[in-house]
C-alpha cells in the first residue's frame, strides 16, 4: 500500500468517525444551526477526500 493510500484511508476513517459523532450529537443538540454548520463542513471535507481519491486512482502504476 502506498503512503498516499494509507493517508487517504486514515482520513476517510477519521471523517467517518466524525460523521458518526455528528449523528450522535443530533439527538442531543439544542442549537440546530451548529449541527447544520458541522454537517456542511463534513460534506465539504468528504468532497475533497473523494476528489483526492479520484486523482490517486488515476495515477498509472510504476513498475520497478
> Which pLDDT value is given to residue 46?
74
> Which pLDDT value is given to residue 30?
62
- Give the residue extent of every domain in the chain: 3-57
Q: Which residues of the chain have pLDDT under 70?
A: 1, 23-31, 47, 51, 54-64
> Which pLDDT value is given to residue 59?
56
What is the 3 state secondary structure string of the chain?
CCHHHHHHHHHHHHHHHHHHHHHHHHCCCCCHHHHHHHHHHHHHHHHHHHHHHHHHHHCCCCCC
pTM over 0.75: no
Amino acid at each position: 500500500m502506498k503512503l498516499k493510500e494509507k493517508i487517504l484511508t486514515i482520513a476517510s476513517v477519521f471523517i467517518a468517525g466524525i460523521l458518526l459523532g455528528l449523528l450522535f450529537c443530533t439527538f442531543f443538540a439544542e442549537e440546530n444551526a451548529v449541527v447544520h454548520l458541522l454537517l456542511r463542513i463534513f460534506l465539504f471535507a468528504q468532497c475533497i477526500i473523494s476528489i483526492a481519491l479520484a486523482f490517486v486512482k488515476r495515477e498509472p502504476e510504476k513498475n520497478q
